[in-house]
Structure 1
Amino acid sequence: MSRITALRSIRIAERPNLIWVELETEDGLTGLGESFRGAQAVEAVLHEQVAPWLLGRDARHIEAVSNQLMNPYLGFNSTGAETRAASAVDIALWDLAGQRQGVPVHIALGGGVRDSIRVYNTCAGYAYNTAGVNRRHATADDAMAGPYDDQVAFMTDAGRLAESLLEEGYAAMKIWPFDGYAAASGGHMISLTDLKAGLEPFRKVRQAVGDRIEVMCELHSLWNAPAAARICQALEDYGVFWAEDPVCKMSDAAALADLRSRTRMPICGSETLGSARAFRDHLAAGALDIVMLDLAWCGGLTEGRKIAALAQAYAKPIAPHDCTGPVTLMAGLHLALHAPNAIFQEVVRATLASWYRDLVSGLPEIRDGMALAPAAPGLGMALAPDLRKRPDATVRVSGTAR
């Protein structure tokens, strides 16, 4: 039988935004899921709302679980704690499904359309998205913490950064040099001086490597529509692949559609949207050129493949997000291998080379700028055996754990 006997959550003080979920079933399997941001709130939802309903249910009926958890009385159609908890559970259920069938998750989803997917390097540093370091604005005075401290690198020597990425086989990169200029006006305007300063890394990349690398611009939902339009119009001359999450907030499909009509820059969004309903509204409004989704925030793989199918119906590509945790990365990779309209999987070489390795076994293999299909059953990864025994770990169990 495949009834769920225990739900275990694990978080560690060193990475306070991350939370992992392990689902145990009576047939001896353990499925792994993950979510990010507000880990304590997600933990409360998991044990006080989800577990009482989930325990004892058949783990094979993933669609039924997703339908229940993604439609609470409050908290639906967003990336709130309810949706983040549902996402972690859903990823764990698909991990179980693959293990039970003895196949990787992308095969369990219905099979792959490719055996590798192009990656781009998000130019974050080793501690990016850790409490107190979120969206750090690097300057020329910052010292590199290591060879892959790419957020410092893109603000200090973007041309050399592009060269180093090409040397390692990466043919695409993402940077956010405009973030530091939003605070002066609350994102309501950007001066010509700040605009030109923000464009400098793009100029340096093109000067150093020409058109040999694709460059994406992340705008982190910091700008109102006129300021975002000014930035996007200026980026057009640098062949930027997309402008990501340009307006505050990305739930405003009308503002995005208006912006999209004012620029030739392709608009990408949004990791911050939860559920297929939100993406349906954006696609119907003509607000997006590329669909970015985060499987730990949008509802997991069940909701993620519905979003991918919606995007495909509108002839739009998808690009799964990861600048958060290793399980989200692996889940996104499986979706990208399965969905015909996937064009990129995001990676962060700094985290792949450092702390991701301390948390899990079975990270994706990147070769010549491509993430290769995992061959192991399920997600193909597991938490490090001693993670839950760490002195900074908080482990909470509902049900009867092994």
Structure 2
Amino acid sequence: MKITALETIQLPYLKNILWLQIHTDEGLIGLGETFRGADAVARYLHSDVAPLLIGRDPLEIDAISKLLIETYVGFRSSGVEMRAASAVDIALWDLFGKATNQPIHQLLGGLSRQRIRTYNTCAGYTYNKSGARRYIGASDHAAEGPYEDQIAFHRDAGALAQSLLEEGITAMKIWPFDPYAVESGGNFIHRADLDKALLPFRQIRDTVGDKMEVMVELHSMWDLPSALAIARGLQEFRPFWAEDPIKMQDPDALAIYAQRSGLPVCASETVATRSQFLELLRKGAADYVMLDVSWCGGLSEAKKIGTMAEAFQRPVAPHDCTGPVVFAASIHLAMNLPNAIFQESVRAYYSSWYRDLVTVMPRIEDGHLYPFAGAGLGLELSPYVLEHPDAIVQKTRRADL
């Protein structure tokens, strides 16, 4: 089997998402996805990656992964090159599954569990879409549906927690500190603002007590003293973890935070490749390892990072606040990794616009995700995407293949 073409697909209203289809001479097509910087990733895939891959055997997954993330064309960061490599890798695993008629989780080593617990990232329908605002408040705009959870955690986080529990979801993630980081540059938080940002945690505990695990997302927006000040305020509410409390550029500083904050540390969706995660683990800077399959190097690298974390006795919780293909790939990984404890999800996404984009959605019941049954990823892009009149489709092929 040989790779004959690379095809990228984008929709203008979802310009953060890039889909990649890798075509072969046997008629099989592998599907990949990555997120953010989609225009630049598409250009790089066609100009630099396609000439390297067309004509190669798509089942040489490890060799291609090494080529794209460790040689002269690769860079150990989560920028354009790494996102392109991640999309390629997901598509190659999808092809592997289709060629062998096996789901990806089986090819990774099989199921470690029959289902995995999910937590709800409390985003709304437009969060992370092209042109959407990431930081909104209770009065910013009207709800577009029942799951405008980012507005809800500003208005009444206790009621939001109760609504999640009614669906069997017993863990949630919120980020009420972000607006204050935007205002101050992340260098200072006033006591009055700290109290305002702590209100959702107080509402959750007052309404549902300890029935809900609460994660706090800090988006790497704070310096060390400010992050520690926030941690002191959070301690009474017993958050499950503090995610990306500072920028992930200094493992020593993160280790200081881990030692002094009194909170478990989760890191980091922004980190790529085993080498960077190894530094965090060696320094004792992370209690929970979070990776993003579309940013860290793909499923191949994610599996290796997860196994390395297991050697350090650290659990893994794959990140997902992206698109439905990465969501599916992450579920396959989380079902396989023995040390996976959560798979992130966004109910505003999987209950609405995800369903327009792919042919199959995962089974989600009682706060748990269940494995896909089909070969490869177990889903395809829907006709809505492939036949959309505004779709931006680019294809690079070689005439002799």
TM-score range, shorter chain: over 0.9
Partner secondary structure for residue 375 of structure 1 = coil
| Distance (Å, rounded) in 2 between the aligned partners of 1:251 and 1:289 | 17
Q: Does 1:246 align with 2:240?
A: no
Q: Which position in structure 2 is the counterpart of 1:379?
A: 377
**Deviation at residue 398 of structure 1 after TM alignment:** 1.0
Q: Does 1:33 align with 2:32?
A: yes
Q: Which of 310, 313, 317 is 2:311 aligned to?
A: 313
CA contact (8 A) 2:103 2:373 kept: yes
| Distance (Å, rounded) in 2 between the aligned partners of 1:377 and 1:251 | 38
**Deviation at residue 24 of structure 1 after TM alignment:** 1.2
Q: Which position in structure 1 is the counterpart of 2:171?
A: 172
Q: Which position in structure 2 is the counterpart of 1:298?
A: 296
| Distance (Å, rounded) in 2 between the aligned partners of 1:112 and 1:159 | 35
**Deviation at residue 140 of structure 1 after TM alignment:** 4.0
How much is the aligned-residue C-alpha RMSD, in angstroms?
Answer: 1.3
**Deviation at residue 286 of structure 1 after TM alignment:** 1.1
Q: Which position in structure 2 is the counterpart of 1:397?
A: 395
CA contact (8 A) 2:356 2:384 kept: no
Q: Does 1:258 align with 2:256?
A: yes
Q: Note the residue ranges of structure 2 that are not aligned, 5 or more in a row.
A: none
Q: Which position in structure 2 is the counterpart of 1:158?
A: 157
Q: Deviations over 1:14-36 (max 9, x none)?
A: 10110000011112111100000
Q: Deviations over 1:129-165 (max 9, x none)?
A: 0122242221346432211000000000101100100
Q: Which position in structure 1 is the counterpart of 2:205?
A: 206
Q: Does 1:128 align with 2:139?
A: no
CA contact (8 A) 2:216 2:243 kept: yes
TM-score (norm 2): 0.97
Q: Which of 357, 369, 391 is 2:367 aligned to?
A: 369
**Deviation at residue 361 of structure 1 after TM alignment:** 1.3
Q: Which shows bigger deviation, 65-74 or 109-118?
A: 65-74
Q: Which of 286, 289, 292 is 1:288 aligned to?
A: 286
**Deviation at residue 385 of structure 1 after TM alignment:** 2.1
CA contact (8 A) 2:258 2:286 kept: yes
One-letter amino acid matched to 1:88: A
Change in CA separation of 1:139 and 1:75 when aligned onto 2, cut-off 3 Å: farther
CA contact (8 A) 2:54 2:398 kept: no
Change in CA separation of 1:228 and 1:75 when aligned onto 2, cut-off 3 Å: farther
**Deviation at residue 342 of structure 1 after TM alignment:** 0.3
Over the matched positions of the two proteins, sequence identity in percent amounts to 53
CA contact (8 A) 2:138 2:152 kept: no
Q: Which position in structure 1 is the counterpart of 2:15?
A: 16
| Distance (Å, rounded) in 2 between the aligned partners of 1:72 and 1:357 | 38
Q: Note the residue ranges of structure 1 that are not aligned, 5 or more in a row.
A: none
Alignment length (residue pairs) = 400
**Deviation at residue 333 of structure 1 after TM alignment:** 0.6
Partner secondary structure for residue 290 of structure 2 = strand
CA contact (8 A) 1:251 1:278 kept: no
One-letter amino acid matched to 1:228: A
| Distance (Å, rounded) in 2 between the aligned partners of 1:374 and 1:238 | 36
| Distance (Å, rounded) in 1 between the aligned partners of 2:141 and 2:62 | 48
Change in CA separation of 1:296 and 1:121 when aligned onto 2, cut-off 3 Å: same
One-letter amino acid matched to 1:90: D
| Distance (Å, rounded) in 2 between the aligned partners of 1:197 and 1:37 | 31
1:171-190 superposed matches below 5 A: 171-190=170-189
| Distance (Å, rounded) in 2 between the aligned partners of 1:341 and 1:379 | 21
Q: Which shows bigger deviation, 201-210 or 72-81?
A: 72-81
Q: Which position in structure 2 is the counterpart of 1:43?
A: 42
**After TM superposition, where is structure 1 displaced by more than 4 Å over at least 4 residues in a row?**
none
| Distance (Å, rounded) in 2 between the aligned partners of 1:269 and 1:280 | 12
One-letter amino acid matched to 1:120: Y
CA contact (8 A) 1:388 1:394 kept: no
TM-score (norm 1): 0.97
| Distance (Å, rounded) in 1 between the aligned partners of 2:250 and 2:133 | 24
